[in-house]
């Protein structure tokens, strides 16, 4: 079992986690890399451009991306102090409570220690990518009604026909947008999946005063009332603000690669399978944009040699996922499973795959290939249970006229469990 440890640094503001090759970075700078089924061509192979209509995301929420989610590159920035977390991923520690205030839409406020309910993951969609927010780097969350409509229950009086008949009194339905303010001062706007917090007011200075109970605070993605309710009667938490300094913003991830032949370094977020922007200021050195606390899969490319950080093989899991992959018909008609992994006890499985389009592609200069990641959801652990494709992302891509020109992909335990030296992520010796 891979072991991880967590160190938090207030001076450099880094809170990172490397569980196996899943490295936790923080803050901003994510760009989407979810390819559609009909997507071929290359991020690094200009002959096959990506069309906007071919973009795919696991969660389709259309909002304008915010500039705060992009971090400019600073090739000459000071060395990033990075610490790795080496604890079993199955044990998710509770977040430390932070002092702050919760305000509701009716003006009520409660001040106390605020923390996410244990097990809560703050999933935020910025319009392009599904991200995981780092609780320690939040300054404020503002819940704003985005759309308010009156809806009615309905029934379909005639089977097989699209006509529906509305019944009963209308009920209010409110959808929310969340505005996020980070400790760095940067902001983002999008949609937060329903999340639960607690606020503990603590004791009172007056010994005669009754104790104030801990309250649960639910940030809803959508709020629905009962027939006849007015929108004003639907109370919701409108603002959560924190009074402490929180964790300082992190810098982009600095990477040092021992092999000078490595031309590209890829980091893909685990939460949304988004490819982080990578720059190569000089041979053997890379800078990876941070990703709002997302854990990462890592990979390198040197010519036709691709190395991906991956744990030891799980033969039983790979056999199960090979069957599922064969049924996942899409643009690529040649699919090869390279590895399968899941966190202990989880029903989500990640697969590493080599995809190739053998058939001719109209207007393309060659046959597209892709080294990608797929996230699957198991209905249960029972044999024969349904396996559903839940998301996919790109690691590297290109063109190959024949199978002999496809890249050689190697799974690396060293890249799955990288080292840190001199404040840099070190790949190789």
What the block records as the tokens of 114 is 């605020």
Strands 305-309 and 408-412: parallel
Both tokens of 274, joined, read: 């988004």
Give mean pLDDT, residues 225-233: 88
Interatomic CA distance for residues 257 and 345, integer angstroms: 33
The pLDDT value recorded for residue 310 is 94
Structure confidence at residue 119 as a pLDDT band (50, 70, 90): confident
**Which segment of 1-10, 208-217, 355-364, 365-374 scores lowest on mean pLDDT?**
1-10
**Sign (positive or negative) of CA dihedral 213, 219, 224, 230:** positive
Each residue's pLDDT tens digit, 20-33:
333 333 333 333 33
Which residue has tokens 């490595």? 262
Query: Residue 61 pLDDT more than 80?
Result: no
User: What pLDDT, on a 0 to 100 scale, did the predictor assign at position 9?
Assistant: 35
Residue 81: the pLDDT is 31
Which DSSP string corresponds to 43-78? SS-TTSPPPGGGB--SS----PPPGGG-----TTPP
Q: What is the pLDDT of residues 314-373, one digit of tens each?
A: 898 999 999 889 888 788 989 999 999 998 878 889 999 999 998 888 877 789 999 999
**Coil, strand or helix: which one is 298?**
strand
- Provide the pLDDT confidence category of residue 180 given band limits of 50, 70 and 90: very high
**C-alpha span between 79 and 82 (Å, rounded):** 9
Query: Please, are residues 255 and 94 in contact by the beta-carbon 8 Å criterion?
Result: no
Alpha carbon distance 242, 87 (integer Å): 28
- pLDDT higher than threshold 70 for residue 291: no
pLDDT at 93: 54
Beta-bridge partners for 346: none
pLDDT at 262: 93
pLDDT at 301 over 90: yes
User: Residue 116: beta bridge partners?
Assistant: 197
The domains of the chain are located at 94-249, 315-414
In percent, how much of the chain has pLDDT > 90? 31
**Mean pLDDT across the stretch 113-123?**
90
pLDDT at 220 over 50: yes
Query: Span 387-410, mean pLDDT?
Result: 90
- Within 8 A by CB and 6+ apart from 413, the residues are 309, 310, 311, 312
Using CA of residue 255, residue 259, residue 262, residue 268, what is the dihedral sign? negative
Residue 318 dihedral angles phi and psi, to the nearest 5°: -65, -40
């Amino acid at each position: 079992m891979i072991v991880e440890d967590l160190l938090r640094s207030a001076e450099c503001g880094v809170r990172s986690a490397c569980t196996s090759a899943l490295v936790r970075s923080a803050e901003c700078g994510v760009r989407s890399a979810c390819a559609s089924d009909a997507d071929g061509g290359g991020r690094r192979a200009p002959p096959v451009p990506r069309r906007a209509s071919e973009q795919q995301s696991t969660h389709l929420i259309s909002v304008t991306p915010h500039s705060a989610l992009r971090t400019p590159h600073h090739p000459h920035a000071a060395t990033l102090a990075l610490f790795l977390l080496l604890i079993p991923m199955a044990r998710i520690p509770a977040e430390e409570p932070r002092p702050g205030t919760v305000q509701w839409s009716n003006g009520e406020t409660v001040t106390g220690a605020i923390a996410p309910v244990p097990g809560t993951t703050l999933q935020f969609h910025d319009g392009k990518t599904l991200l995981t927010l780092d609780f320690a780097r939040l300054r404020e969350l503002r819940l704003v009604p985005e759309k308010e409509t009156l809806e009615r229950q309905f029934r379909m009086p005639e089977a097989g026909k699209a006509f529906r008949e509305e019944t009963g009194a209308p009920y209010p339905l409110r959808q929310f947008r969340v505005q996020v303010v980070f400790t760095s001062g940067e902001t983002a706007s999008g949609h937060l999946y329903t999340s639960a917090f607690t606020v503990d007011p603590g004791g009172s200075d007056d010994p005669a005063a009754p104790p104030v109970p801990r309250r649960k605070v639910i940030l809803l993605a959508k709020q629905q009332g009962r027939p006849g309710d007015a929108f004003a009667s639907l109370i919701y938490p409108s603002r959560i603000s924190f009074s402490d300094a929180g964790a300082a913003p992190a810098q982009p991830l600095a990477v040092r690669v021992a092999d000078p032949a490595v031309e590209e370094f890829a980091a893909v977020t685990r939460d949304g399978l988004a490819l982080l922007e990578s720059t190569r200021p000089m041979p053997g050195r890379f800078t990876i944009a941070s990703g709002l606390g997302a854990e990462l899969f890592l990979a390198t490319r040197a010519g036709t040699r691709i190395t991906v950080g991956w744990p030891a093989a799980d033969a039983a899991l790979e056999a199960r996922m090979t069957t599922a992959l064969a049924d996942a018909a899409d643009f690529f008609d040649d699919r090869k499973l390279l590895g399968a992994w899941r966190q202990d006890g989880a029903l989500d499985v990640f697969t590493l795959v080599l995809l190739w389009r053998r058939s001719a592609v109209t207007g393309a200069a060659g046959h597209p290939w892709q080294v990608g990641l797929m996230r699957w959801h198991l209905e249960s652990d029972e044999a024969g249970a349904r396996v559903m494709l839940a998301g996919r992302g790109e690691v590297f891509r290109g063109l190959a006229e024949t199978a002999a020109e496809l890249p050689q992909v190697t799974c690396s335990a060293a890249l799955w469990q990288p080292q840190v030296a001199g404040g840099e992520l070190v790949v190789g010796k």
